[in-house]
């Protein structure tokens, strides 16, 4: 028996309606903020991600689904969208079409992580990227968009964490300070952190190892080394969030796991989903476009994990949307009338009603059970004495009352269903 690959999920019809409603909400909110949808291929050249996200990051060094195709090129299933959007921005010279590109997406992503609750190998993100402006208003806007969507879902157990990584120059000065501080502790660091010491020292803040954590408690913070411009940028972001009624806290240790960030980084954490608690993450990436070979263009964005969001909704008992019931279920009393019943059903569907019937020639009892299962508002009986008299019997399933209509009077029948 062939099964789905570990860490991937089938979204069955009980859930797919919820997914569609969530996607509808994302489309609606993105449109309010004037972001336009972008769709990019599922796979890209591996070099895009290694150059864009950074060779030393966990995503690139451990988690990518990469393969060599028949022409010998290394390809990778996209682990995130920012690099792909940046590639498309450069490839299509989007800067020439619009001074600021405001783009959003909803798409599957792939990372070979150890699966657990809220962490999958194929998962789905929606997110936004604004490329072409350094305005701190956009950093704040990203956080507000995510927060608005989460609030519309009804989520409340949320914590917005923000930080600033400043510009490269001050970050490099700080990295040296951090190295100086860590050198005497080097032998006590975990093996992972020892490796990060040279290649990605900021990420030691993310270590879950107890000893690492106690060493990092006393470490100097990047915030203390920010230059004036970075501080002003960060202060504006904070002020806008305050004025927009988005509660947040500054977490000076929030470095995030991708290399392209500068200035603002942020995450929104849920207290309702266990250890994989980041519902979204994002930040500013002013050097990415240039690093990928484009003309310098600053950018900022975020992405949210749909599986985690829906898990948070389930655990908080919110966004419990259910598909609309059927309008009409046809009960066929006489199997010879199959085609007549089908035609009537088709007419109802073409009038915009959700209608269905039994295709398995089952008993009337079984058909009634089916109508109840679909919560159908009406049942339409085709056959029996009524049909011999040239009539349909329509039954309102919640009130129990019945109506007769001439088979030639579909208009009357439709009017009744519409009432």
DSSP H or E stretch at residue 104: strand 101-110
CB of residue 335 to ligand HAM, shortest distance in Å: 50
Smallest gap from residue 180 Cβ to ligand HAM (A): 29
**In whole angstroms, how far apart are CA 282 and each of 8, 227, 302, 332?**
24, 22, 4, 56
Nearer to ligand HAM, 66 or 396 (CB): 66
Structure-block tokens of residue 343: 């035609």
How do 355-357 and 328-332 pair as beta strands?
parallel
The CB-of-301 to ligand HAM minimum distance in angstroms stands at: 3
Q: Which residue is nearest to ligand HAM (CB)?
A: 305
Q: Indicate the residue among 248 and 392 with the shorter CB distance to ligand HAM.
A: 248
Chain-centre distance for alpha carbon 234: 26
Pick the closest to residue 375 from 415, 327, 330, 341 (CA basis).
327
Nearer to ligand HAM, 306 or 330 (CB): 306
Nearer to ligand HAM, 110 or 387 (CB): 110
Whole-number minimum distance, CB 109 to ligand HAM, in Å?
A: 7
Chain residues binding ligand HAM by CB under 6 A are 80-82, 111, 113, 119-120, 123, 125, 127, 129, 258, 278-283, 301-305, 307-308
Closer to ligand HAM by Cβ: residue 231 or 278: 278
Helices (H), 186-330: 191-199, 210-217, 228-243, 288-291, 306-315
Which residues have CB under 8 Å from 232's CB, separation 6+? none
Taking the complex as a whole, how short is the minimal distance between the CB of residue 42 and ligand HAM, in angstroms?
15
Phi, psi (rounded to 5 degrees) for 121: -95, -35
Q: How far is CA 89 from CA 78, 98, 288, 304, 417, in A?
A: 16, 11, 11, 21, 50
Least distance (Å) from ligand HAM to the CB of residue 152?
A: 17
> Which CB, 283 or 383, lies closer to ligand HAM?
283
- How far from 300 is each of 63, 282, 380, CA to CA, in Å? 24, 8, 56
Q: Which is nearer to ligand HAM, 261 or 378 (CB)?
A: 261
CB of 386 to ligand HAM, least distance (A): 55
* Distance of alpha carbon 295 from alpha carbon 298, whole angstroms: 10
């Amino acid at each position: 028996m062939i099964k789905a690959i570990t860490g991937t999920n089938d979204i069955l019809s009980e859930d797919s309606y919820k997914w569609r409603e969530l996607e509808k909400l994302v489309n609606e909110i993105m449109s309010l903020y004037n972001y336009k949808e972008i769709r990019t291929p599922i796979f890209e050249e591996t070099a895009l991600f290694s150059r864009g996200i950074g060779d030393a990051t966990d995503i690139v060094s451990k988690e990518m689904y990469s393969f060599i195709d028949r022409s010998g090129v290394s390809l990778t299933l996209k682990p995130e969208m920012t690099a792909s959007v940046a590639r498309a921005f450069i490839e299509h010279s989007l800067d020439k079409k619009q001074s600021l590109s405001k783009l959003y997406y909803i798409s599957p992503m792939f990372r070979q992580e150890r699966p657990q609750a809220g962490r999958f190998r194929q998962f789905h993100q929606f997110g936004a990227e604004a490329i072409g402006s350094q305005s701190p208003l956009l950093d704040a806007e990203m956080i507000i968009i995510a927060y608005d969507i989460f609030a519309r879902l009804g989520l409340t157990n949320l914590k917005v964490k923000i930080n600033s990584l400043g510009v490269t120059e001050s970050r490099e000065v700080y990295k040296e300070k951090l190295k100086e501080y860590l050198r005497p502790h080097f032998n006590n660091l975990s093996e992972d952190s020892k490796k990060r010491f040279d290649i990605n020292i900021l990420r030691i803040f993310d270590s879950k190892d107890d000893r690492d954590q106690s060493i990092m408690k006393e470490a100097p913070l990047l915030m203390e080394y920010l230059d004036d411009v970075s501080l002003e940028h960060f202060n504006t972001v904070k002020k806008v969030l305050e004025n927009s009624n988005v509660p947040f806290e500054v977490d000076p240790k929030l470095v995030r796991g991708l290399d392209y960030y500068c200035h603002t980084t942020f995450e929104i954490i849920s207290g309702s989903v266990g250890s994989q608690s980041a519902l979204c993450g994002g930040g500013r990436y002013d050097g990415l476009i240039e690093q990928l070979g484009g003309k310098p263009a600053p950018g900022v964005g975020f992405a949210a994990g749909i599986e985690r969001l829906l898990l948070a909704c389930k655990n908080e008992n919110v966004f419990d949307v259910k598909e609309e019931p059927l309008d009409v279920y046809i009960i066929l009393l006489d199997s010879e009338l199959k085609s007549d019943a089908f035609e009537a059903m088709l007419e109802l569907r073409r009038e915009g009603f959700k209608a269905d019937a039994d295709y398995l020639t089952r008993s009337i009892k079984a058909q009634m059970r089916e109508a109840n299962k679909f919560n159908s508002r009406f049942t339409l009986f085709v056959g029996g004495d009524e049909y011999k008299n040239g009539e349909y019997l329509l039954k309102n399933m919640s009130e129990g009352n019945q109506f007769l209509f001439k088979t030639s009077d579909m208009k009357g029948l439709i009017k009744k269903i519409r009432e």
